[in-house]
Structure 1
Amino acid sequence: MKKVLIVETNVTRYQGTKEPTGLWLGESAEFVDELNKAGIAYDFVSPKGGFIPLDPRSMKYTDESILSVYEDPDFVHRGLTNTLKPAEVNTDDYFAIYYTGGHGVMWDFPDNTELQTIAKEIYAHNGYLVSVCHGIAGLLNIKDDNGNYLIANKAITGFTTTEEIIAGKKSVVPFLNKEIAEKNGATFKKKRFYKDYAIKDGRIITGQNPFSVRSVAKLLLNEIDLGGNKHANNLGK
């Protein structure tokens, strides 16, 4: 059975400031929890490989399930301290790539050509492009071999401008997700701020904010027939 590739950020602070950021813990941990319950294997990759900083604000939004993953030595080893470098990834091993969030991704996801190539190859082999919250930054600029944006003519969602304002970050982020998504031909969907919202359009699955992680995971898992039929080729069965 093929695996899911989870992408995390290496960025430690809001660029140009002294304020720390990094991975929003729940956006990795809750997704991992859903994969574990379904018996789906996964790996972790980051633009530079190795260490993953945590957004300190994300630690205020934990529950027992998040903390259980956070305390798992395997998650700490593979997901927080020894993530793969893009060059170490064999795309044939994966049926989906999932971009986690945290504001740090806005600086090291959008223009990383190695990650874009990985995503393109997974998608070209009938795989899924998946993101939540700011993780949409990893999907915004991917182009196919003809120079067309993969999100063009697709309905997607991500952290909204209203949510940036409420978070107090609109003035420090390098771009707004909705503006880039629409510029690159996507239809940007949203619900009320900080409400659970996830959508699927073809083989692209996106979630609006940190409260949408499990819904994103379930949309992906719904594409899998664990009995062995639906999308069996993608899973390598």
Structure 2
Amino acid sequence: MNKIAIALLVITFASCAKNKEAKEKVTEQVQPKKEEVTQSKKVLFVLTSHAELGDTGVKTGFWVEEFATPYYFLKDKGFEITLASPKGGQPPIDPKSELPDFQTESTKRFNNDKEAKDQLANTLKLTEVRQSNFDAIFYPGGHGPLWDLSEDQNSISLIEEFYKNNKPVAAVCHAPAVFKNTKNEDGTSLVKGKKVTGFTNGEEAAVALTEVVPFLVEDMLKENGGIYSKAADWNPYAVEDGLLITGQNPASAELVADLLVKKLQ
């Protein structure tokens, strides 16, 4: 009897052990694996609110390609984009940038994108945005920034704060005009000793606006101590130096966006 009892106990314990092991396996299979949560990076786009090309009576604003190309380049990679401008609301579009000769895949996509158009029509005022809410700042060009964003104190302060907090600052074509009055903490120009590019004097002459614009982007960057370089007129060209990313012309917008993405990864 003792031997039989002992045998029954061994069988019972073995059965319990197997049941426990089976339950543990089932639990492992049923429990969902924890997925890695990657928070999307947030980029602030700042567009001009200036619509007049000097005293010529001609309209200006931002260049659509320089907005649409980086906008979709970043958005398609999961970046969250917020739009702002000095006055808020709808920023002026340079009418020339909507002509057939200047259409690209990104501008065509924008023309049919109601969501993007609605977002553009409701940009925040620069006074409403804070550096702490974003990972980078991007400035599309067009002639407008030469008049307003180069002198706008809110824009100047934002750029300085982004830079001070180790966050990238990107600008393309005429938008490097925003560095006209930006300073380092020691009072020197933000671009001093930095590799930069922007709309060339030759490109400005080609569009016959050398005598109309308040200053030439190429000359200003050099005067501020920037190490200016360029490609042949109208060729894609972008430069990265630390936190500063700049592009030469409309064709350089995707290069700037690509460098910004790599910087944020």
Q: TM-score, normalised by structure 2?
A: 0.82
Q: CA deviation at 1:57?
A: 1.0
8 Å CA contact 1:32, 1:69 repeated in 2: no
d(CA) in 2 for partners of 1:73 and 1:137?
Answer: 30
CA distance in 2, matches of 1:139, 1:97: 13
- Does residue 44 of structure 1 match 2:83? yes
> Which of 137, 142, 167 is equivalent to 1:102?
142
User: Displacement, 1:87?
Assistant: 1.3
Amino acid at match of 2:163: Y
Letter paired with 1:169: L
Q: 2:114 aligns with which of 65, 73, 79?
A: 73
Amino acid at match of 1:111: E
Please list the CA deviations of residues 102-134 of structure 1 after superposition, one character each: whole Å capped at 9, or x if unmatched: 111110011111111111111111101100000
1:117 pairs with 132, 153, 157, which one? Answer: 157
CA–CA separation in structure 1 for the residues paired with 2:257 and 2:221: 22
* Paired residue secondary structure (1:50): coil
Measure, in 2, the Cα distance between the counterparts of 1:64 and 1:71.
Answer: 11
Match of 1:232 in 2: none
Q: Deviations over 1:51-85 (max 9, x none)?
A: 21111111131123322123322221222x21111
Alignment partner of 1:205 out of 222, 230, 245: 245
One-letter code aligned to 1:63: T
The alignment partner of 1:21 has SS state of: coil
Judge conservation of contact 2:66–2:253 (CA < 8 Å) in 1.
Answer: yes
Q: Report the alpha carbon displacement of residue 11 of structure 1 after superposing the two structures with TM.
A: 1.2
**Corresponding position of 1:235:** none
State the SS of the aligned residue for 1:175: coil
- Structure 1 stretches lacking a partner, 5+ long: 226-237
| Counterpart-to-counterpart distance in 2, 1:32 and 1:70 | 13
Give the residue type in structure 1 aligned to 2:112: E
1:161 and 2:201 correspond: yes
Structure whose CA Rg is larger: 2
Aligned partner (choices 92, 103, 127) of residue 62 of structure 1: 103
Q: Which residues of 2 match residues 119-198 of structure 1 at below 5 A?
A: 119-198=159-238
RMSD across aligned positions (CA): 1.2
Looking at structure 2, the residues matched to 137 and 177 of structure 1 have their Cα atoms a distance apart, in angstroms, of 6
User: What residue in structure 1 maps to residue 50 of structure 2?
Assistant: 11
Alignment partner, residue 230 of structure 1: none
Q: Percent identity?
A: 37
Give 2:261's aligned residue: 221
Return 97-106 or 55-64, whichever deviates more.
Answer: 55-64
TM-score, L = length of structure 1? 0.91
Structure 1 or 2: more helix by fraction: 2
Q: One-letter code of the match for 1:152? A: K
Determine the C-alpha separation between the residues in 1 that align with 2:162 and 2:223.
24
Deviating 4+ runs (over 6 angstroms): none
Which AA in structure 2 matches 1:144?
A: N
Q: Secondary structure of 1:196's partner?
A: coil
Given that 1:29 and 1:70 are in contact with CA atoms closer than 8 Å, whether structure 2 keeps it comes out as no
- For residue 118 of structure 1, what is the amino acid of its counterpart? L
Which amino acid is 1:131 matched to? A
Q: Give 1:171 deviation, angstroms.
A: 1.4
Alignment match, 2:127 = 87
